[in-house]
Amino acid sequence: MLPTKYFAFLNRTGTLVRAAVCCGVGVAFLSMAGAPAFAAEMDNLQKQLRNLQTRIDQLESQQAAPPVVPAKMTRSGKKQVTLSVSGQVNRISMIADDGTLNSFFHSDNENSSTRWRFIGKAKINSDWSAGLKIEQDIGQSNNSSGVKIDFTSEDKSTSDTSFDNRQMNVYIKSKSAGKLTLGKTDMPSNNIVQIDLSGTGVVQYSGTNDIGGGFGFRTKGVLGAADGPSISTVYNQLDGLSRQNQIRYDTPKFAGFQLAVAHGQGDIWDIAARYSANYKQAGIKISAGIAYWEFGKNTNSFDSGIGGSISVLHSSGANLTFAAATQDRSGSSVDDQVSFYVKPGFQFKATSLGKTNVSVGYARADDRSVQNDEYQNIHVAVVQNIDAAALELYAFWEINILDRDGEDFENINIGGIGARMKF
């Protein structure tokens, strides 16, 4: 864009040019009886003046034209539908020690895996709308829950996984009647024990086996391969029915409460109630949920389960998260599994980069696979938000403990750093 004062100069120049053209035409008319050479020169001069006038008009039109706005990168094939693309990359580097061997691993963080999603929305009228959601894990590389310490190479990576269809669904929604969803999506009980306002869930939450779940316990004094069960064998947060192909109904929110019920493939079903509120005068934000689920024809030694969680965040930054769940086991001499989780934390803003979140957590599971098994996880985590880049930098350390009748296992220590960036 040329400066405004330059265009003012051009405007004045244009006026002079117009006058010159008129004079030129008059002189040409009076000199028609003159020498042919003079007439030719006048024709050439008039042509140059006309070209100059055309150029000035073009420059003036450019000044008045609105700025060009670049087209959006993402467009829907249907103009009625608004399409958005989002996702994240979450990578972790960690070291693990099983009491005899230790090794480094560079993995995709299963706590919140690398993924992308497409969300489409369309408005039908003032009350009704429709939409769709497609979300995929982007072929996880060296999943943090599957890597193992190998006694021959001290490092055993897990194979890269293919695309996992996390969400593939369509819904119709009414502000007054609620939401009906068809397709693969979260069962109402999914994430019911993962409600967490601490800000450290990206690296530590109730699903502690998402990092290092493949590491095996080792009997004290035993060399070679770890001879005990893996962390994931003795611990599970019991987080409902996960994501399934289903039909699901969600009620509208009322005073912070919302109910959801669904029936999934294999005759599974569940129901969940959730509550969220922000008591501004008291400076308290709260989020909670509870669910009941049945495994139907997909039973894997469990018939049903119940679980829930609650998380409270104070305006001072102090927060507390608690979760618990149990599943009914039929036809087994092992008691019903019980697990619970507690995590106090604190949020503060030490720099202009963003909030810093710190927490200490404790998880426990009893009788996951063997009667009287007692698994414990103690961990500490810190997450630094970089708001300008939608980036989270984190670090953690944890210790995993297994008490089993007649056995004496080494503890498993895991620590590391990582980063998650969203788009």
Three-state SS string across the chain, please? CCCHHHHHHHHHHHHHHHHHHHHHHHHHHHCCCCCHHHHHHHHHHHHHHHHHHHHHHHHHHHHHCCCCCCCCCCCCCCCCCEEEEEEEEEEEEEEEECCCCEEEEEEECHHHCCEEEEEEEEECCCCEEEEEEEEEECCCCCECCCCECCCCCCCECCCCCCCEEEEEEEEEEECCCEEEEEEEEECCCCCCCCCCCCCCCCCCCCCHHHCCCCCECCECCCCCCCCCCEHHHHCCCCCCCCEEEEEEEECCCECCEEEEEEEECCCEEEEEEEEEEEECCCCEEEEEEEEEEECHHHCCCEEEEEEEEEEEEECCCEEEEEEEEEEEECCCCCCCEEEEEEEEEEEEEEECCEEEEEEEEEEEEECCCCCCCEEEEEEEEEEEEEHHHCEEEEEEEEEEEEECCCCCECCEEEEEEEEEEEC
In the prediction, which pLDDT does 143 show? 92
Among 33-47, 305-319, 332-346, name the one with the lowest average pLDDT: 33-47
Among 69-83, 201-215, 235-249, 368-382, name the one with the lowest average pLDDT: 69-83
CATH architecture of 82-114+140-161+187-422: Beta Barrel (2.40)
In the prediction, which pLDDT does 85 show? 97
Q: Residue 11: pLDDT above 60?
A: no
Q: What percent of the chain has pLDDT over 90?
A: 71
In the prediction, which pLDDT does 50 show? 76
Q: Residue 66: pLDDT above 90?
A: no
In the prediction, which pLDDT does 5 show? 43
Residue 245 in tokens: 């192909």
Q: What percent of the chain has pLDDT over 70?
A: 83
Mean pLDDT, to the nearest integer, of 219-242?
Answer: 92
In the prediction, which pLDDT does 218 show? 94
